[in-house]
Chains A and B, each alone.
Chain A
């Protein structure tokens, strides 16, 4: 905690989750991992086009956060969004079909990887312009306050977006009007190919709200239980009418910025070290075994179940038709 930051109650050492919740979070993280691996594969085969930003390595962040949301809460993020959609409960088939540009996708194939939405799951995108989702999320929180609902908006952005001016315009209004919003900075250390050290004068993203009086916390984003504890605390803070809060998630992306990133800005050793020492899924799996919450066979059973879901999604995407030519002109106006 930086001195200047107004503090809320510091997050306690994350308590061990009960067996059911722990198993669910493990499964949710693994679903994202396997889904993203499959998406990478389908991209390589030409089934997915354009830009495709994979979330591999960062799974604990969104899974830990989403485990704490209630029915009136919303989420919004940028273009590295597949994990957020799965964690929000969206159907992997619809997400994969959208990646493949098929009519059965969440946006009828018109949005693609970066632009998907589910009003049913209160997932408000999926936005392709770095930082633009921050004022949009602040607007969702504004609507909660306007309607006097108890909803909290979870607004995700990266360490790169954290340097956009509109983020601070949003912070200012959110604190000024005490809007119920959790700003989650997914600090994966690289804004495309530029490391935090080369882009940010102040590397303490949890502290970026200090001049507005917004409290912040730094969280180990590779530990799903730490994220879960921080999420619970932050969402309660907002729901009780205290205004916004910032959570900086220390995380790491294993893959390139997008599929066409040769990743020459960091070494293979750096990536491997994180994978070996901090992998959110591997480590949590080991923890579950140690605690006796799940055994090795149990983990394998989860993996089999996930692979089936992911393969089914890929089949569904591949077999779904592309949008009809008539769809070119629909959905421009209501």
Chain B
């Protein structure tokens, strides 16, 4: 049975090429792996091999021909009996006619799919804030203690949850977040790792693939840059790349952003880096209650979750409700204070700045509405938009660099979705666009301040 050998595509982008040289002639017997011809593409000369046995009966395109289109017949092959379908026709094909020889079936590339109408990015379901019944007792605790309690509660609840990282066990945590966990849960579940971020991050992701629920602590997020390939390429993308088959329930957590006087390599805010990535969730709480509730949610979440903590905030104390199981939904912002004149949006340590700024602004008669984003992916844009539609002005505050920042994203969203409500352009207050300097005088200048926030608010309120 005769079949056609087609001009092959030899690279993902090849559309045509030159048939430089035939290495077989009419009448030749060929076997799988035999080189049939040399094909020149725009990039290289490639050898083209036979797939099946048979005899070349006719050469349709002579050597030296240029501009031979991919899938154009270039020769005919008479299949040997062995090479052809062995007696049994492939279901649904008449006698298996020419189905097994090289290029026998003219399967045209499928038409490009029509573009789906864009849908909202990572749609946020209606998220209910956990109920805090009237009369609930509150205790004051540090963010550090709240994070520890969250891990301990989840480890008691589910024995597939374990903590690994540098100095998390015997040293009790470089920043003492894991204090007491080794004593309670033992070395099998609170695991000191070597200094090997790339390796232990990948190991954690593999353990999550196997169904465990690792909490991977980075001593600081700065060190996670060694491991970012495993976080993004392995943790974030595998569910999608597997068509939903694979799961990666893992938490990556640690202090993020500048601390104090530790200079450029140890003072970086990764908020917008990770918020950019589909397939992971990102939270960046400020208050102790949110730190506890969001870390518990992160540990239970079936997706990889990035928890951006803050070293300076670790020691701050806030009230936390005494409740059996306090879990805060990821993807929901909190309106800390309502106001009429301007919306201030922040996350993590910058929430402290807007709280302080709001007090001073009140003295000037400006009533600010304060939003703590808490989660950066999914980003609760509906809470922000609802606020802007009321106040008509917005200032975002963060420690990260200005280009492609969280504020940039919010400004774009507000401009697109609430343009008609705006009485002033959205304003961003950010860290300065420089690596963090060491000198105290310069470090102070590189970080956003309460004064920066007040200036920005006055600008959007035309009060200067």
Whether A associates with B in a native complex is yes
Binding site for B on A (CB under 8 A): 37-38, 40-47, 49-51, 56, 74, 76, 105-111, 115-119, 124-129, 132, 134-144, 146-147, 165-166, 169-170, 172-173, 176, 254, 256, 259-264, 268, 275, 300, 303-305, 307-308, 311-312, 315, 318-319, 322-323, 325-326, 328-334
- A40-B49, A260-B43, A333-B239 known; A135 vs B203 contact (CB < 8 Å): yes
- A254-B33, A315-B90 known; A259 vs B10 contact (CB < 8 Å): yes
User: How long is the Cα–Cα vector from A264 to B47 in the complex, in angstroms?
Assistant: 10
Cβ of A143: which chain B residues have Cβ within 8 Å of it?
Answer: 206-207, 210-212
| Contact in complex: A333, B245 (CB < 8 Å) | no
Q: What residue of chain B has the Cβ atom nearest to residue A138's Cβ?
A: B203
**Min CB gap B193→A, angstroms:** 7
Other than A139-B207, A308-B90, A331-B240, give 5 A-B pairs with Cβ distance below 8 A: A44-B9, A108-B243, A115-B241, A143-B210, A334-B239
**Residue interface mask B72-100, A partner, CB < 8 A = 1:** 00000000001001111011110010011
Q: What residue of chain B has the Cβ atom nearest to residue A310's Cβ?
A: B100
- A129-B229, A308-B88 known; A300 vs B6 contact (CB < 8 Å): no
Q: Which of A43, A137, A331 contacts B244 (CB 8 A)?
A: A331
- A46-B70, A308-B88 known; A170 vs B202 contact (CB < 8 Å): yes
| Contact in complex: A135, B8 (CB < 8 Å) | no
| Contact in complex: A260, B122 (CB < 8 Å) | no
Q: What residue of chain A has the Cβ atom nearest to residue B10's Cβ?
A: A260
The B contact surface, by secondary structure, is loop
Cβ of B82: which chain A residues have Cβ within 8 Å of it?
Answer: 300, 303-304
| Contact in complex: B242, A44 (CB < 8 Å) | no
| Contact in complex: B206, A125 (CB < 8 Å) | no
- A139-B206, A318-B105, A333-B279 known; A312 vs B91 contact (CB < 8 Å): yes
User: How long is the Cα–Cα vector from A124 to B202 in the complex, in angstroms?
Assistant: 13
Q: What are 24 A-to-B residue pairs whose CB atoms are below 8 Å?
A: A37-B33, A45-B103, A46-B9, A46-B71, A49-B12, A116-B242, A117-B245, A119-B246, A125-B242, A125-B246, A135-B230, A141-B206, A166-B198, A166-B199, A172-B194, A176-B194, A259-B11, A260-B14, A260-B44, A262-B47, A263-B46, A322-B110, A328-B116, A334-B239
| Contact in complex: B85, A307 (CB < 8 Å) | yes
Q: Which of A56, A140, A261 contacts B207 (CB 8 A)?
A: A140
Say yes or no: is B131 at the interface (Cβ < 8 Å to chain A). Answer: no
**Min CB gap A45→B, angstroms:** 6
| Contact in complex: B103, A173 (CB < 8 Å) | no
- A41-B102, A260-B12 known; A107 vs B242 contact (CB < 8 Å): yes
User: How long is the Cα–Cα vector from A124 to B245 in the complex, in angstroms?
Assistant: 10
Cβ of A105: which chain B residues have Cβ within 8 Å of it?
Answer: 243
User: How long is the Cα–Cα vector from A118 to B242 in the complex, in angstroms?
Assistant: 8
**Min CB gap B298→A, angstroms:** 13
**Residue interface mask B171-214, A partner, CB < 8 A = 1:** 00000000000000000100001101011111111111111100
- A139-B207, A173-B193, A315-B92 known; A166 vs B202 contact (CB < 8 Å): yes
Cβ of A110: which chain B residues have Cβ within 8 Å of it?
Answer: 240-243
| Contact in complex: B194, A173 (CB < 8 Å) | yes
Cβ of B105: which chain A residues have Cβ within 8 Å of it?
Answer: 318
Top 9 closest A-B pairs, CB basis? Answer: A139-B206, A135-B202, A169-B199, A44-B8, A304-B86, A108-B243, A143-B210, A260-B11, A334-B302
Say yes or no: is B45 at the interface (Cβ < 8 Å to chain A). Answer: yes
User: How long is the Cα–Cα vector from A170 to B281 in the complex, in angstroms?
Assistant: 27
**Min CB gap B242→A, angstroms:** 4
Cβ of B207: which chain A residues have Cβ within 8 Å of it?
Answer: 139-140, 142-143, 146
User: How long is the Cα–Cα vector from A328 to B324 in the complex, in angstroms?
Assistant: 39
Q: Which of A51, A132, A307, A333 contacts B86 (CB 8 A)?
A: A307
Say yes or no: is B115 at the interface (Cβ < 8 Å to chain A). Answer: yes
Q: Which of B224-240 contact A (CB under 8 A)?
A: 229-230, 233-234, 238-240
Q: Which of B43, B93, B239 contacts A332 (CB 8 A)?
A: B239
Cβ of B442: which chain A residues have Cβ within 8 Å of it?
Answer: none
Q: Which of A126, A132, A256 contacts B229 (CB 8 A)?
A: A132
| Contact in complex: B243, A146 (CB < 8 Å) | no
Say yes or no: is B48 at the interface (Cβ < 8 Å to chain A). Answer: yes
| Contact in complex: B12, A50 (CB < 8 Å) | yes
Q: What residue of chain B has the Cβ atom nearest to residue A56's Cβ?
A: B33
Cβ of A166: which chain B residues have Cβ within 8 Å of it?
Answer: 198-199, 202
| Contact in complex: A124, B115 (CB < 8 Å) | no
| Contact in complex: A325, B116 (CB < 8 Å) | yes
Say yes or no: is B136 at the interface (Cβ < 8 Å to chain A). Answer: no
Say yes or no: is B114 at the interface (Cβ < 8 Å to chain A). Answer: yes
User: How long is the Cα–Cα vector from A74 to B200 in the complex, in angstroms?
Assistant: 19
Say yes or no: is B135 at the interface (Cβ < 8 Å to chain A). Answer: no
Say yes or no: is B134 at the interface (Cβ < 8 Å to chain A). Answer: no
User: How long is the Cα–Cα vector from A184 to B206 in the complex, in angstroms?
Assistant: 17
User: How long is the Cα–Cα vector from A261 to B278 in the complex, in angstroms?
Assistant: 32
| Contact in complex: B234, A127 (CB < 8 Å) | yes
